[in-house]
A and B are shown apart, each in its own frame.
Chain A
Amino acid sequence: MTDIAETRTTPLAAGRAADRIRKRYAAERRFRLYGLVAVCVSIAFLALMLLSIVSKGYTAFQQTMVYVDVHLDESVIDPKGSRNADDLARANYGALIRKTVAGLFPEVSGRRDKRKVRKLLSPGATYDVRAMVMDDPSLIGKRISLWVPASDDFDQLLKGNIRRDVPESDRRVSDKELAWIDSLMEKGLVEKQFNTRFFTAGASQEPELAGILGAAVGSFLTLLVTFLVSFPLGIMTATYLEEFAPKNRWTDLIEVNINNLAAVPSIVFGLLGLAVFLNFFGLPRSAPLVGGLVLALMTLPTIIITSRAALKAVPPSIREAAFGMGASRLQVVVHHVVPLAMPGILTGSIIGMAQALGETAPLLMIGMVAFVADIPTGFFDPATALPVQVYLWADSAERAFVERTSAAIMVLLAFLFIMNLFAVYLRKRFERRW
């Protein structure tokens, strides 16, 4: 650019004229630079955000585990010897763990220290032992060895999120606890393992036991409802407006209305859901059904708008050909236009679904923020969704939840990425140039 300019300006390069031209080109370069800077800054923001989330979150995929021997004492678990499932479930497994810990640290005495040393293990240890016994009652009376999760502070210390070099008063782990942890590590009883629980558990108050499966299932159920409602409605509306509707004031109204709905803040849809679905129709709070309906109304405009664009892209010659054969309008639409527009419609719908998957605010309004430890199994069960889980964890005080939040975000982004990739694939695979 610049060298061309110089060669071209040589004949005029006398005094003020040359000066002017130089200034103009300087302005040109400045302007270009501004543009480049704007692009770079925007991308830098994206990189910074992703980097900060990944660097905070990748550790959550590992969990510190402690190897323990537990004596499954029959007199504690099943003194009556009945092997009754109810009795087994209610037995005091905590006492077994207590004994195990006492065995590991025989030198610890005093009630407070004893409790503290027990706190090195997560309460999940108790649940894991119970699950093993419930699974296989024949283990009762034997000694078993297993990996149990460490407590969140223990875990964070090993991951370097709680630093050893700060004074004891500023540290969540006392010097005494540090010594215990070190002795465990010397014995080779501590290991970081892949955190399966994060993918198989529901929400929990204990960060080391909290998982995203409940939220993921909630999101899936919600999106299923959203898809089942908004996809057929979206296609039918788009087809009507694009292929059947006469141009008149009524269809203009529908059109303006759809464009406006697409720009209404999502939280307003949440208010609609609260007032209409919960208070007027009396549907249950926190249910995926209601969440799905609200998100369906929200994504409907997106689906309609993209479907109409896809229908519009089908050339009129196809319609003419079919009409010329004596196909009725419905046959033209069902046999030719809609199938040809389907890749476009699907792409738009997937993008709409991805939006719905990331949406949080309307779900807060209809109570999908409840603490739900169980994994939902139906459309009427109380549930939460992935982005809401992110919001809830982000609000929690424990340091360990920061890493879980970041990890949940990574999972959420992975889902969104896959959906968008699929949409791009569909577009590339079935794109038709007319």
Chain B
Amino acid sequence: MAAVEQTIVETQPAPVPKITARSVDMYYGEKQALFDVDLDVAERHVTALIGPSGCGKSTFLRCINRMNDVIDGARVEGTIMLDGENIYDKALDVVQLRARVGMVFQKPNPFPKSIYDNIAYGPRIHGLTDTKDELDHIVATSLEKAGLWNEVRDRLQEPGTGLSGGQQQRLCIARAIAVSPEVILMDEPCSALDPIATAKIEELIDELKENYTIVIVTHSMQQAARVSQFTAFFHLGKLVEYGATENIFTNPTDERTQGYITGRFG
């Protein structure tokens, strides 16, 4: 892999990049939200995006599966490649993109349907199964992978909105897994949860990285340190520093990064 960015620390291992973003600029109408972001996301690792509020980390995350398309007047320049394919290519089907790049949101947002239907929704719309048995299997394995199977196996037909906050979030993760995505984007998945539920989700993230590429936006630096292998620090819409998590936290090169992680601002 070619030299990417001056701020990348030399000690970084060189895993295969799953996503490569090059000079990404992002605008909401007249207002520019991202400035010239270059970033490689390593396959089957957890990459954390950190930074103060409004720094553009969530915006960047939403660029990766084109969730910003939903917003009027949002516009992206530059390229983001997923396995060497530009996701902003006109010929690319955004629906298929999102099947490959799943997303988990800040607030758990289960559909007001049964637990089963929540998980089955994705496989159904993407036509992943032909028989009921296959669908049952996907639901079960997704819930298992999300660590929720034992808690809900007897009440799959109950509404997903009746679960506790932490369970709802794991349900949302299971829902994302059900379509076998390659990448899972998580937008502050634990910010609405209590510490015990948070710990469970973090454990889950750690397991999931065996099979999935995960990008997580988080407010908590401890969380970033606990779950991620790579960390990117955003500030005012710019990517300031990016590298292996331990280097960023122990030996940041940019003084803004240092200021943030030592709690001087943010």
Interface-facing stretch out of A127-135, A170-178, A325-333: A325-333
Interface-facing stretch out of B148-156, B171-179, B237-245, B252-260: B171-179
Q: How long is the Cα–Cα vector from A324 to B112 in the complex, in angstroms?
A: 16
Asked if A247 CB lies within 8 Å of chain B CBs, one says: yes
Using CB atoms, name the residue of chain A closest to B110: A321
Using CB atoms, name the residue of chain A closest to B100: A326
Greatest chain B CB density within 10 A among A319, A324, A327 is at A324
Q: Which of A323, A325, A340 has a CB less than 8 Å from the CB of B112?
A: A340
Asked if B265 CB lies within 8 Å of chain A CBs, one says: no
Residue contact B67 to A432, C-beta cutoff 8 Å? no
Using CB atoms, name the residue of chain B closest to A331: B125
Asked if A246 CB lies within 8 Å of chain B CBs, one says: yes
Using CB atoms, name the residue of chain B closest to A315: B109
Chain A nearest CB, measured from B106 CB (Å)? 9
Q: How long is the Cα–Cα vector from A322 to B65 in the complex, in angstroms?
A: 13
Given the interface pairs A246-B72, A247-B72, A317-B107, the reply to whether A326 lies near B67 with Cβ below 8 Å is no
For window 66-114 of chain B, which residues contact chain A by CB distance below 8 Å? 67, 70, 72, 95-100, 102-105, 107, 109-112
Q: How long is the Cα–Cα vector from A328 to B66 in the complex, in angstroms?
A: 12
Chain A nearest CB, measured from B51 CB (Å)? 22
The DSSP consensus for interface residues of chain A is helix
Residue contact B67 to A324, C-beta cutoff 8 Å? yes
Using CB atoms, name the residue of chain A closest to B73: A247
Q: How long is the Cα–Cα vector from A246 to B69 in the complex, in angstroms?
A: 12
Number of interface residues of B (CB under 8 A): 27
Given the interface pairs A318-B111, A319-B70, A340-B112, the reply to whether A324 lies near B65 with Cβ below 8 Å is yes
Given the interface pairs A323-B67, A324-B102, A326-B98, the reply to whether A335 lies near B121 with Cβ below 8 Å is yes
Sample (29) of A-B pairs whose CB atoms are under 8 Å apart: A317-B105, A317-B107, A318-B111, A319-B70, A320-B105, A320-B109, A321-B105, A321-B109, A322-B111, A322-B121, A323-B70, A323-B98, A324-B65, A324-B98, A324-B103, A324-B104, A325-B121, A325-B176, A326-B95, A326-B98, A326-B99, A326-B125, A326-B126, A326-B179, A327-B95, A327-B121, A331-B125, A335-B121, A336-B111
- Chain B residues with CB under 8 Å of chain A are 65, 67, 70, 72, 95-100, 102-105, 107, 109-112, 121-122, 125-126, 172, 175-176, 179
Beyond the given A324-B98, A324-B103, A327-B95, please list 17 additional residue pairs across the A-B interface where CB-CB is below 8 A. Answer: A247-B72, A317-B107, A317-B109, A320-B67, A320-B105, A321-B105, A324-B67, A325-B99, A325-B102, A325-B121, A326-B96, A326-B100, A326-B125, A326-B179, A327-B98, A331-B125, A336-B111
